[in-house]
Amino acid sequence: MAPRSTLAAVALAAALVCAAPLSASAADAQHSLSAPQEHQHSGGHTVLWSTPNSISADDNTQLVGVDPLTGKEVARFGIGKEAETWSIALSKDQHTAYLANHYSGTLSVVDLAGRKLIKEIPLGVDADYVALSPDGTTAYVTSMVSESLSVVDLTAGKVVTTLSLGAPAEGVAISRDGKSAYLGIYSRDRIDRMDLSSYKVTASYTGGKAPRRVLLSPDGKTLYSTDYYGGTVSAYQVDNPAAKPEQVNVGGQPYQAQLSQDGRKLYVADTAGSSVSVVDTRNMTARRITVPDGFGEVAATPDGKQLFEAQNNQGGIAVIDLRHGKATGTLDGTGLPGPTALALTTR
């Protein structure tokens, strides 16, 4: 088998993105991470979950939980052999995490409360991004290298079908009724809407250049994309695919993104701009916040006061104060070398 770093480099070239080299090892002991003190967020205790680009002595990729209030590591356990996780999706109750593992080509199912791996579902292709159906019974996993979408029955724990998309795609969003998937076909500058009963493309949205992440507004009426080579965020009318999207300029090569719970803000990681852009979706304006150079997922607290970004290039997790528009610190990268995937639970 080719070295892990070589295969990762090939996949990243296909994705048209350059990431940092993989670290060779990770400490298994608990780490104390330096973090700015912040209030405990409404709705319960907050934990950041991330996967460092390193492996333990038994070749496991590890899922690490960090308390951003105290800066201390609260969990660390294996989630699969040399998995290299690129995306994490959470169940509605936040008890279960589903990890798309790029290198091992598996979907890991993790019990967050029990701090353990439940199962690994083999996909047969590399895994890049995972989205869940509204009822939590199905996972949809994209593969850029294989140019495919895997449909996974989470109850049975197996792949139902793997669909050829005909071009590299990564971002996928599922409609509120679970009937449609929206796929960012970034190499073709379009977003395809797929009927999930027939697996046929029923419409395409164009206007943004190289859509990487796609997100639906809470009411399901607006479709957003981060346009990697356009330097913009596009907003499409879901019911009118032919309409030209509204657009706003953000930082260089916008990629990872998350909507606030009320849908009024879209937080975008500008991978070439050393910044995070905060888009006001009501009037499509944006402000930029300078952060250390990074390449990874973003996660906002439910109260909209803090944003976190996994710093794959730097190591650790950047902490951003959204009220004052500035980065306030980094959860130290000693125990988190090169994290990419990121998820936040509040219980």
pLDDT for the residue numbered 27? 35
pLDDT band at 34 (very low <50, low <70, confident <90, very high): very low
Q: What are the tens digits of pLDDT across the range 226-251?
A: 999 999 999 999 999 999 999 999 98
pLDDT of residue 3: 42
**What pLDDT, on the 0 to 100 scale, is given for residue 56?**
72
Q: Is the pLDDT of residue 17 over 50?
A: no
Average pLDDT over residues 259-270: 96
Q: Is the pLDDT of residue 167 over 70?
A: yes
Q: Report pTM.
A: 0.87
How does pLDDT run across 116-165, given as a tens digit for each residue? Answer: 999 999 999 999 999 999 999 999 999 999 999 999 999 999 999 999 99
The residue whose two tokens read 């994705």 is 15
Residue 70 confidence class, pLDDT cut points 50, 70, 90:
confident
Q: What is the mean pLDDT of residues 25-40?
A: 40
Q: What is the mean pLDDT of residues 320-339?
A: 90
Rounded to the nearest integer, the mean pLDDT of the chain is 87
